[in-house]
A and B are shown apart, each in its own frame.
Chain A
Amino acid sequence: MATLLDPIIGLRIDGRRPNELRKIQCEVGVFAQADGSAIVSQGNTKVVATVYGPHENRGGRSKSLHDKAVINCQYSVATFSGTERKNKPHGDWKTVEMTSHLKQTFEAVILTEKFPKSQIDIYVEVLQSDGSNYCACVNAATLAIIDAGIPIKDYVCACSVSLIRDTPLIDINHLEESSGSPHFTLALLPNYDQIVLLESASRMHVDYLDKMMESAMVGCKDIYAVLNKYIKSRVGTISKNFSNLI
């Protein structure tokens, strides 16, 4: 605990300040076959996301909804992603839980009523895990959805926060995550200040909630700035190439 946040100089174990994100690298349109795809790495956490659709429902008519699209997700974790080898990439309770979180998160932002009787698939896979896996997945899935051209209310940006020595730490790495200190994950619509997901499995005093929430929201907005800058620059190059063509 003592080393996770240096009491004198106030830096974290990897040298970051408490409110500092890890380096975010993103790339969209990495796969040719999928309608949208993205690779996002936050520090040593690296995930890929692909989006297929909107398309006809795969389960037949019975699974389709007459007034909106069905969002279908799968969260999987590569067997080699962590320090310990995993036996199964998906299907255990943890990935099933993450799958349902992902579904709820994206049902809240995708304009599903625009695509009645159809289905949108969102698949994410964690290739390297070093804490905040779910956040990286949400951020990658947002980029993949944008790449697929599916209309959304706003970006969804997710950020994790932990509390060590009464200081909220954002975008926590594996060491900070497994230290036993309270932590939670927040997914935010940064332009509307709306929370679409709040998930925590640890015990914390309610007095700290405000402080942690505030840090997490700032973190989400910082992530939004990075993602938005990337998308803007990419759209810029695409439109420039296009205008050169005509």
Chain B
Amino acid sequence: MLGIDQKNILKRIRGRVLLNNVLKGLFFASTTIGLIFLALLLYRILTQGIGYLNSGFITSFPAPYPEEAGIFAGLIGSLLMIAIVAPVAIILGVGTAIFLEEYAYKNRWTKFIQINIQNLAGVPSIVYGLLGLTFFVYMLRLGYTLLAGGLTMSLLVLPVIVVAAQEAIRSVPSDIKEASYGMGASKWQTIRRVILPAALPGILTGTILALSRAIGETAPLIIVGAATALYTLPDSLLSKYTVMPIQIFNWTGRPQEEWQFVAAAGILVLLIVLLFMNAIAVFIRNKFQKRY
């Protein structure tokens, strides 16, 4: 029998328990700090904006008086833009991810593409605005329209979706892929019936992040010509449009104090739309989630 030195073990355990507690405290503090700032932000926005947030605010067009100003044009514009960004960015993004993960040969070339996509996710958004201006507005002659704005935003969020979808596809266990091949399924059948369903939750998480970014961006849309004041709703893909962040940005810059409250009300509407979008995505994700 080996002699167990109780004393020594106790001494060592004390150190480990201490370290454990210190780390626990550290992680708890990180979470709390984030939450405190979030709560402060929400509190400030709520107390400032709630007074101006009413049905009139949601259904009115911009006006020169703070009490009459509304976000209707921006709200509809933002929703229509998401209706363009979501299909374009998801189809292109997930398609790219499937190709890179499942079809492309793993060589230096794909690695090079890979790194570039990851870098694109960090390019300042204004650069995408300039790209959209030269390519969609001028070269494709789309003009300063909803379609040009939506396509520009699709490009902006594409890298985020590609990277997230790749990560999700890669994390599908190879046993089930091989099982599918073993049963005689073709590559496409495997992708459609095995890989995509398994990767769906991860892809959706990336999509939520991407669309949240698209709905909150201002700078690139100013470049591609989103209006600040508009009294009609877009009636086609080639109409003029405005979006919520541009209206909010305009209100925050005004000298009169009441406009700050109008801006806060606008931020509240934006947050509500964002929450609603995320709720839909979480619902879909939970419904189709399957863990391996």
Q: Do A and B come from one complex?
A: no
